[in-house]
Chains A and B, each alone.
Chain A
């Protein structure tokens, strides 16, 4: 049974590999994004030493790392799920003695591994060569970062599952999916580190799951968080991961009840 789930990871990885040419351009796009933000932030910093608690050097690394983390955790599970719900093929999937949601997570993970190898690693090498990115030397920080990256993937995918499952309840969740995408980019700290938000927004964001996706792991990696703060950040991620399981299961159960295979 477990090996079936791993097969879903493997098969998604192989499928992505078959279309790998699509992703070569992705490396360029991510490098351009990092470049654009790098130059923008340099202009904003001007002569300033620190802004929002970031030195200019930390900001460069933060941008590079955040985008590269995004390359790994980003996936289109929400779109896949909502498409499968709308064209009714979710019905076929539910006829297998296997958990639909876990299969989706596994497929997302297969995609994540692919994106890590084909996008994140080469993209990071390009970014390090082009921009003054300083990587941490402490191996422990690398280890913690990759653990946190794993939770970034989990939390982001959980939010995708939730958004995708909304297709069971509304006829069209396109708008919701777009909103979620913008929200995650904005509120997770890819576009703007959380420290730059005004005080009340910062407090609000600390109570939302988005910061756990990018801001926390990137802050740990760039050395903005140290000592106990690191474990605290990881702890926040774990809590969010566990908390988000609840609404997903509730939604899945009520979806099963009102399931109405459209077009069938």
Chain B
């Protein structure tokens, strides 16, 4: 069964235009002008149960708008959404019982009361059975290492502590789908790792479907088998992460540190006949780009045999660079080609 089924989803916002000058301000007083902004442009995708899917894109690409429609906060302008078989904005009260949501920048805990009080209140709100609640809470507290935080008021927690509590709050009622909107924003590497491990664990043990938006591609690397990439309201890539890397990574680079000064001509002559590209790093160092299908050792052998090398560094294109490249060139037209 599909956990999330989205069909030709579109969302338009009316944005107020402020006219210039005093005259404009007076005019605005009587008659507002609006411009129509389309944040999400007829996107379609399906996510099966139990998948962890990354939802990425630049700021303003329409990620959060999509998440808000999927969670029933925003009403779509057109198109269909089914999450767990529900239409989110219509069957709200039934629907929200089976989802968990964490917004990295927004707390869902009550600011002034102790963490455990918030959890108890959520138990009642979601009508979780007392014994289920105990068992679940103990499990969550143990894996996220929250024991000594429980009696503190939320406003006295650090961001990392709060974020872990938010996760517990979102999972107490054992939702089958978890939406995460930038869950690791502003966290240190230890907490990030802890949260990633935790997400993997609940996905593995409870089969929870997870859809997360993030700007941290290491989240994607660590968690997601699938990536949906959004640009200007369009989906420009939807598929496996490895495939994304394969298609977009354009090869590897080797940086050679020579013992003597080198020129571009000199290094070019070293690899004459091979389809590689040299750039000079500084007096003593040069970088060579090698296409994906060529063996690194071929180039290495050629260079090492005829020049004195003091150091070698091999650079693999990482997800960051790939995505940066896609964002830079990514347009819906270019996207057609890679949608596969």
Contacts and interface: CB of A to CB of B under 8 A. Distances in A.
Interface of A: 1, 3-4, 7-8, 11, 14-15, 18, 88-89, 91-92, 94-98, 171, 256-257, 259-261, 264
Contact of B74 (A15, A89, A260): A260
B45 interface: no
Given A91-B106, A97-B93, A264 B68 contact: yes
A15 B101 CA distance: 25
Contact of B73 (A15, A18, A91, A97): A91
B55 interface: no
A3 B93 contact: no
A7 B124 contact: yes
14 contacts: A4-B127, A7-B121, A11-B121, A92-B103, A92-B107, A97-B96, A97-B97, A98-B93, A171-B16, A256-B89, A259-B73, A259-B74, A261-B73, A261-B74
Given A3-B124, A98-B93, A260-B13, 16 more contacts: A1-B124, A1-B127, A11-B121, A88-B106, A91-B106, A92-B103, A92-B108, A94-B72, A94-B92, A95-B71, A95-B101, A96-B122, A259-B75, A260-B74, A261-B68, A261-B74
Contacts of A260: 13, 74
Contacts of A97: 93-94, 96-97, 125-126
Contact of A95 (B64, B73, B75, B121): B73
The interface size bin for chain B is: 20 to 34
Contact of B72 (A1, A15, A89, A95): A95
Contact of A15 (B106, B112, B124): B112
A4 B124 contact: yes
Contacts of A3: 124
B74 A14 contact: no
Nearest to A7: B121
A136 B71 CA distance: 55
B149 to A, nearest CB: 18
Nearest to A6: B124
A264 B64 contact: yes
B117 interface: yes
B77 to A, nearest CB: 11
A92 B106 contact: yes
Given A92-B103, A96-B96, A171-B16, A257 B75 contact: yes
Contact of A11 (B73, B74, B92, B110): B110
Contacts of A92: 101, 103, 106-108
Contacts of B13: 260
Nearest to B64: A264
A167 B117 CA distance: 30
B314 interface: no
* Residue with the greatest number of chain A CB neighbours at <10 A, chosen from B71, B73, B94, B96: B73
Contacts of B126: 96-97
B113 interface: yes
A206 to B, nearest CB: 35
A15 B121 contact: no
Interface string B317-334: 000000000000000000
Interface in B39-86: 64, 68, 71-75
Contacts of B89: 256
Contacts of B112: 15, 18
Contacts of B16: 171
B101 to A, nearest CB: 5
Interface in B97-132: 97, 99, 101, 103, 106-108, 110, 112-113, 117, 120-122, 124-127
B83 to A, nearest CB: 12
Nearest to A91: B73
Nearest to B124: A4
* Residue with the greatest number of chain B CB neighbours at <10 A, chosen from A3, A15, A259, A260: A260
Contacts of B71: 95
Contacts of B127: 1, 4
B103 A15 contact: no
A124 to B, nearest CB: 28
B96 A15 contact: no
Given A18-B112, A257-B75, A259-B75, A96 B125 contact: yes
A264 to B, nearest CB: 6
A19 to B, nearest CB: 9
Nearest to A92: B108
A264 B73 CA distance: 11
